[in-house]
A and B are shown apart, each in its own frame.
Chain A
Amino acid sequence: MQIRLQSAPILLFNDECGVCRSIAHWVKKQVQAQSGTASIVVRPIGQDPEELRALNQGLNIWDAYATIHLLMPDGSMKLGGEAVAEVLRHLPSTRWFTWTFAVSVFGIRPFQAILNLAYVILADVRPVFGCESCGTPSLWVRPIRWMVNWVASLFGKSHHPSPHFTSLPASGRPPQAQNI
């Protein structure tokens, strides 16, 4: 299988999640504001497992949807909070503070740890902000989700009895894969 060589890191985003699309849109705007060559390539994960494997042989499409992935030009991958830190390092408006992520105290990188936690929290709360395809929220988010569902039910919006099911939008159309 041929591996495509990239000179800039590739940020993969979940194109079926509104929150992810908004963040990817922001990153893309920051990249476009730069002069010269793009420091990051922003692209949706899409629906083709083989196409993703062509970018990096170790990349599984299910994993790509589960966690943010940044594909580095050297063939490595950064995931989660580490991927976010690397993206921020490549953006002119944010790179000034990214030195903090490398600060280590007794072997622990406190600022990176905070960023990792922030990423986990954001990933967890996505279902509350309308990303139904993001799955069952974590335990701590469920009360918030139940409250949102309860309020929605007051307005006549029904919910599927199975907790392992992603309902399609009311229009009956499948979640649409979109480019930003």
Chain B
Amino acid sequence: MPGYKSIDRIQTVTASTFDRLVLKGEGPIVVEFMSYGCAHCGVIEPDLQQVAEIVESTEKFFRVNIAVDRELSEQYEIQGTPTLIMFLNGAELGREEGPSPDVSNILAVVRQPYES
């Protein structure tokens, strides 16, 4: 499938690293709750990689694979995939379920909570 780059700009976090990397992480942090078997996640992946590259200097991007880390999915009451949650200093500022696969839209979604 075209669009998938070899460089992965989104680091995978697990239940054991979530606390350290996300909750205790500095600055704006975006976490995508996803699954590789979710076709919608596959569709937004190239756009998400692009957005992660654009906001690299200000926001960190992580992914949680809910097929592997179920506790995190239940803890954050994930209803489906993909779900983006925007964190700041460990607190959830906003979330978006099923964003449109479009760079400008995703960019607006991940920036909006930090602007208000």
Please give the number of chain B residues whose Cβ is less than 8 angstroms from any Cβ of chain A in the complex: 30
Which residues of A approach B to under 8 Å, CB–CB?
A: 14-17, 45, 47, 49, 60-63, 65-67, 133-136, 160, 162-168, 172-177
Chain A CB within 8 A of B27 CB: no
B81 shortest CB reach to chain A, Å: 5
A63 shortest CB reach to chain B, Å: 5
Partner of A162, one of B68, B78, B98: B98
The residue among A135, A164, A168 with the most chain B CB atoms within 10 A of its own CB is A164
B21 shortest CB reach to chain A, Å: 19
A9 shortest CB reach to chain B, Å: 21
Chain B residue at minimal CB-CB distance from A167: B80
Give Cα A164 to B78, complex, Å.
15
Give Cα A177 to B37, complex, Å.
9
Partner of B81, one of A15, A165, A172: A165
A104 shortest CB reach to chain B, Å: 28
List the B side residues contacting A160 at CB < 8 Å. Answer: 79-80, 97-98
B46 shortest CB reach to chain A, Å: 9
Which residues of B approach A to under 8 Å, CB–CB?
A: 1, 4, 35-45, 65-68, 70, 73-74, 78-82, 97-101
Contact, CB under 8 Å: B70 / A174: yes
List the B side residues contacting A16 at CB < 8 Å. Answer: 35, 37-38, 67
Q: Known contacts being A160-B80, A164-B44, is A135 close to B98, with CB within 8 Å?
A: no
List the A side residues contacting B99 at CB < 8 Å. Answer: 162, 164
Can you report 26 A-B residue pairs in the complex whose CB atoms are below 8 A from each other? A14-B37, A15-B37, A16-B35, A16-B67, A17-B37, A47-B35, A47-B36, A60-B4, A65-B37, A66-B42, A133-B38, A134-B39, A160-B79, A160-B97, A160-B98, A162-B99, A164-B44, A165-B40, A166-B39, A166-B41, A166-B80, A166-B82, A166-B98, A168-B79, A176-B67, A177-B37
